[in-house]
Structure 1
Amino acid sequence: MRPDKNAIAMSDLNATKEEMCEIGRRMYARQFVAANEGNISVRVDDDAVLCTPTFFCKGTMTPDDICTVNMRGEQLDGKRKRTSEVLLHLEIMKERPEIRGVVHGHPPHATAFAVAREPIPVGVHPEADVFLGEVPIADYATPGDDRLAETILPFVHKCNTIVLANHGTVSFDVSLEQAYWWTEILDSYCRMLILAKQIGRVQQLTDADCRGLIELKKRFGLTDPRMGDDFADADLTTNPLFRDTWAQAGAAARAFSQADIEDQLVDKIARRVAELIKQ
């Protein structure tokens, strides 16, 4: 006997809840969340979103713990109360209807940049540049407050990952798995930056190297604002996409400063001059 459409839909819904629990376990295992921190959501219909409950450990969730809300944040189903921060998730989904998965957490290395309000350098590591691009810092707002959703609006169409000042990160994409990937890649990249800084300094790639990565993104079918005409003649290593928004979030390049970049530029010029002399 062939199952009806509602049974198939329920099967898919249960599978999605299982996936959310698995992502929660992975986040908890990697210490991207502690205790009851973080939240996860998946859009399953035009006006239905599954989300994690408030005050509940993401490492121990079962499908029965998952809540359902509409696109206004009103709870439709679930034995537990939905997270207050689902409003942030819903704002992303409203702005970008193709988004299905959103992950918010406090991955420690990326959140260190959030607490320091230090812009994350671009043009350093290929995977970070290709899969994340430049990551902006949104201004601080109280977790769960309506204003938290407003802080990400200037960036949500230009990236897939945002650092929330003094708070954490949020990543999003067409699937929950991909949204989680971006959180994992970001924290790994931030850890590399911190370790490299302890060794000495972070060596940026050249503008030509960065443009090669932009071409790679194109081949992968990924988008990036730096593909536009505005950046055709700009040095990608010294012209951060979101630099004009740093002041609003109280951010400034201190640990990874413009002076470091200028020193590297001098080194590049010196090496090039030495090569020309040898010819």
Structure 2
Amino acid sequence: MSNQWNSGIHDRELKQQICEIGRRIYQRGFAAANDGNISLRVGENAVLCTPTMICKGFMTPEDICAVDMDGNQIAGQRKRTSEILLHLTIMKHRPDVKAVVHCHPPHATAFSIAGEPIPQCVLLEVEIFMGEVPIAPYATPGTPEFAETVLPFLKATNTIILKNHGTVSFGKDVQDAYWKTEILDSYCRMLMLARQLGRIDYFTETETRELLELKQRLGFDDPRFHLEDCDLCANNLLRKGYQEKAPEPTAFPAPPSYPCRLRSNGQPAPDDAASEPDLEQLVQAITDQVMDALTQSAG
């Protein structure tokens, strides 16, 4: 029988991957001093994680700890991160998730502090790779209550902003989880720069629907594929997850209203004026841009 997991808690190469992501988040200013934590699930009941009170930019494989799915430490010379419950909560409720990255990227964290929702329908890469990014309510870090703040949003996103704290992103491996953080912080920086210039321009309804069709063709899921009672750009897909009032935009203009009209096969319906040849050309052009962006990010 095939094993869906990696080779286990003593795999030095996997520990080295965690250390490499730690260096990246430190070098990019996503984790100052001892901030941030990273985890990688390597067994049915085994998760590698970073230790507490260590700079993520200078870790070695010997520093990496291991815990079971209840947070009990099962290996490692150093004490495991105090925020491991957040990671384990995500993994328990999303079996597809193998890695979690939590850190404090400055531009995204600024949105966290301000309680400003992340605008949708603005940038291609964000629509393709992320979609809506919710803001989980504040709770004291390291507590069970803190870990539970992300629960209402887990089924519909792979990236969450933590109110007055930072971000958490997750995926199939540590690099995938990290990339989502990098995309988010880069986008937040662009939004701030655009705001200084005076405004942001949203995609038109036709452009938005064509991007969603491209997203589906590339194999990425999105809650907007499955809902009819929603607005494509209004950050309302996850509104039911907010126990209190959902965050409202104050720094940016309200997005345009595009209802989620879907075809019977689940694909977003394009504008009636869009012809199929034009759509094919647009899909190819956007695909080329996405692939270029991935190549540059990997480099």
- Tell me if TM exceeds 0.5: yes
How far is the alpha carbon of 1:186 from its aligned partner? 0.2
| Structure 2 residue 23 is matched with structure 1 residue 25 | yes
Q: Name the CA distance, whole Å, in 2 between partners of 1:55 and 1:198.
A: 37
Tell me: CA distance 1:143–1:249, structure 2 relative to 1, closer, same or farther (3 Å).
Answer: farther
Which string of whole-angstrom CA distances, capped at 9 and with x for unpartnered residues, describes residues 121-141 of structure 1? 001000011101110000001
Following the alignment from structure 1 to structure 2, what is the Cα–Cα distance between the partners of residues 150 and 29? 30
The change in CA–CA distance for 1:200 and 1:243 in structure 2 (over 3 A counts) is: farther
Mapped pair 1:84 → 2:56: no
- Once the two structures are superposed, residues 59-105 of structure 1 have per-residue CA deviations (whole angstroms, 9 ceiling, x without a partner) of 00000000000000000010000001110000000001111110000
Identity across the alignment (%): 55
Report what 1:169 is aligned to. 167
Residue 119 of structure 2 is matched in structure 1 by: 121
The alpha-carbon deviation at position 249 of structure 1 amounts to: 6.5
Partner SS state of residue 103, structure 1: strand
Of residues 214, 217, 224 in structure 2, which corresponds to 1:216? 214
Alignment of 1:191-210 (within 5 A): 191-210=189-208
CA contact (8 A) 2:233 2:256 kept: no
Residue in structure 2 matching 1:139, options 137, 140, 150: 137
Find the counterpart in structure 2 of residue 240 from structure 1.
236
Q: 1:224 to 1:12 in 2, by over 3 A?
A: farther
Describe the SS at the equivalent of 1:254: coil
Matching of residues 154-193 of structure 1 within 5 Å: 154-193=152-191
Cα distance, 1:13 vs structure 2: 1.5
Number of residues of Structure 1 aligned to a counterpart in Structure 2: 253
Residues 10, 242 of structure 1: alpha-carbon distance in 2 compared, 3 angstrom cutoff: closer
Partner Cα separation in structure 1 for residue 152 and residue 243 of structure 2: 14
Matching of residue 15 in structure 1 with residue 13 in structure 2: yes
Aligned in 2, Cα 1:21/1:99: closer, same or farther, shift over 3 Å?
same
Aligned 8 A contact 2:117 2:247 in 1: yes
Q: Deviations over 1:214-234 (max 9, x none)?
A: 111111211110111325xx5
How far is the alpha carbon of 1:21 from its aligned partner?
0.2
> 1:245/1:156 Cα in 2 relative to 1: closer, same or farther (>3 Å)?
closer
Q: Deviations over 1:202-245 (max 9, x none)?
A: 111112212112111111211110111325xx541346323455
Which ranges in structure 1 are unaligned for 5 or more consecutive residues? 1-7, 264-279
Give how far 1:262 is off.
Answer: 6.0
- Matched residue, 2:225: 227
Structure 2 residue 252 is the aligned partner of structure 1 residue 256: yes
Matches within 5 A, 1:54-133: 54-133=52-131
Q: Does the C-alpha gap of structure 1 residues 97 and 202 become closer, same or farther in structure 2, counting only changes over 3 Å?
A: same
Structure of greater Rg: 1
TM-score, normalised with respect to structure 2: 0.80
Distance of 2:40 and 2:86 partners within structure 1: 13
